[in-house]
Amino acid sequence: MTSPEKSADYFPFKDGRFRLSMGLTPLPAQQWLPPDDALASDIAAKQALLTTRHSDVFQALPESEAASTELIRMLAVHLPHHHATHYRAHDGGVSNLATGEDWDFAESRMHPLDLAGRLVQADLCLMQLIGGRYCLVGASLCSPARWLLAEKIGQSLDAIHASVPGYGPTLSRPVGHFFQALKPDLIVGRANWGISDDPTAFQPMAGPAKSDLDGVNAGERLWLRIERQTLRRLPETQAILFTIQTKITRLDQAIRSSDEARDFAAVLRDMPDDTKRYKHITAMGPSLLEWLDRRCTG
């Protein structure tokens, strides 16, 4: 969950084609859960949601307990070692130097996954093998992009992604195979993206489309949401941690050149109609494309 004013760190439309794929890239350990200059403000926003809407942003089944405990122990080592400018280890826990918080893991009465979610900017989702299927057993989710944690908790990978157009025939089998084969010494990352007319990070449901959007003002009225996602197996419990760090950038700040506008427009024109509906782009699509075409020639 990142400040809307922060520019997107990378551009996900470089070849101008739409693909439904896993798109996984191996990551070194230092690129797992990296903090940025919005760490303090993002943690503050998380804390506010966890205080006022706890059941909406945190859920944990009993099956998540052991993996959550393993995760907090991993973070106690990983964060001070790889991100020492932001975190410092102390007896019993970790200090967040950006927020001034000192966390004593042994003394905390929080669920360990709840505590883990308050340490980092990314949302944290734990997947556990139950009855031969990987299921969502716990999550600290403060930046949902139009999905409700209460509806997904306990569900399998296929059930969670049932509404994604093309997931069943295209991705169900390779995703299932990947989850079975993932080794604890491998961290992988991928990117997901969306367009919204609201810069709020916490968006469990889509709001009504804005009627005043057009091809001239779309750059100021729309926002590019990029999710930096990672997957990592926890070595002791064999659970898989799925992380989502969301960056939100106003469209006219995210699309910085005519080439970027042209590539993004090509992706939209290449995108199937059912995917546009799923991503809530259908209504805004004509205005978005007109703005991008203007950007190509402006």
| Residue-wise DSSP of 7-30 | PPSS-S-TTS----S---EEE-GG
- In this structure, is residue 185 part of a structural domain? yes
**Is the CB of residue 136 less than 8 Å from the CB of residue 144?**
no
Residue 218 in any domain: the answer is no
pTM: predicted TM-score of the whole model, two decimal places: 0.93
Per the domain annotation, does 101 fall within a domain? yes
The reply to whether 255 falls in a domain is no
278 located within any domain? no
- % helix / strand / coil in the chain, to the nearest 5? 35, 25, 40
Does 191 reside within a domain?
Answer: yes
Domain that holds residue 168: 25-201+225-250
Does residue 285 lie within any of the structural domains? Answer: no
What does the pLDDT profile of the chain (298 residues) look like in tens digits? Answer: 544 333 344 567 776 677 767 788 999 999 999 999 999 999 999 999 999 999 999 999 999 999 999 999 999 999 999 999 999 999 889 999 999 999 999 888 999 999 999 999 999 999 999 999 999 999 999 999 989 999 999 999 999 999 999 989 998 999 999 999 999 999 999 989 999 999 999 999 877 777 789 999 999 999 999 999 999 999 999 999 999 999 999 999 999 899 999 999 999 999 999 999 999 999 999 999 999 999 988 6
Residue 167 domain-assigned (yes or no)? yes
Q: Could you tell me the strand order of the sheet in which 101-104 lies? A: 87-90, 93-96, 101-104
Domain count, the chain: 1
Q: Tell me the C-alpha distance between 126 and 46, whole Å.
A: 18
